[in-house]
Amino acid sequence: MRRKTIRFFMALSLILLLAEVAYAKQSEVIPRFLLGTWIISNDTSDDTYSGTVGQVTFLEDGSLTIDSGRFAAAGLVAESEDVSCHIPLSPILVKSLGKSSFAKQFLHISWFGKMRGGGGTYPQDSVVTIIEHLSNKITMIGSGGCGAQGALKISHLQKMK
């Protein structure tokens, strides 16, 4: 009887350990509420993004695509835009950095950017803070990527239907 009890608790411990590892890995990937396509409107004093719009799609594999326009909070600009920012190359990776009492979510976004007109590729990244999250609307602030460093970059995302 004692062996069965020990085996039971060993099996239970293993199951709990595996569940904890799976949860830890899940917490590193993109939050589920972000999945899908969003229309972006940008609000910032940074001339690269001020008054611009864009479209972004968050994917289940932990990446995103900048479908068109500009995404100020992430410092991303689509290839079709006529600006000096690097062209983001796929994959653009999104990793959750966790939550806090004032932020719904912190994200690290990283990619390689290719110089417009030819040239090398360079690592790029940004840190984005989700400060508001409703079912079909998200507000983010961020720094990094392309644009004026030190300027607060705000993006409002509206879920496409």
Question: Same structural domain for residues 11 and 59?
Answer: no
- Decide: 53 and 70 in contact? Cβ < 8 Å: yes
Q: How high is the pLDDT of residue 29?
A: 76
Question: Same structural domain for residues 9 and 48?
Answer: no
Domain that holds residue 82: 31-159
- Total domain count, the chain: 2
Question: Same structural domain for residues 121 and 70?
Answer: yes
Token pair in block for residue 85: 């920012």
Q: In angstroms, what CA-CA distances link 57 with 2, 45, 62, 101, 124? A: 55, 25, 11, 27, 19
Alpha-carbon span 118 to 104, nearest angstrom = 39
Q: How high is the pLDDT of residue 161?
A: 80
Residue 74's H or E segment, with its range, is none
Q: How high is the pLDDT of residue 18?
A: 43
CB atoms closer than 10 angstroms to residue 113: 22
Q: Which residues of the chain have pLDDT under 70?
A: 1-28
Q: How high is the pLDDT of residue 28?
A: 56
Question: Same structural domain for residues 15 and 62?
Answer: no
Question: Same structural domain for residues 109 and 145?
Answer: yes
Question: 88: cis peptide before it, omega within 30°?
Answer: no
In DSSP terms, 98 is beta-bridged to: 106
Q: In angstroms, what CA-CA distances link 71 with 20, 66, 109, 129? A: 34, 8, 12, 13
Alpha-carbon span 41 to 50, nearest angstrom = 9
In DSSP terms, 157 is beta-bridged to: 40, 138
Question: Same structural domain for residues 88 and 144?
Answer: yes
Please write the tens of the pLDDT for every residue from 48-84. Answer: 999 999 999 999 999 999 999 999 999 999 999 999 9
CB atoms closer than 10 angstroms to residue 102: 7
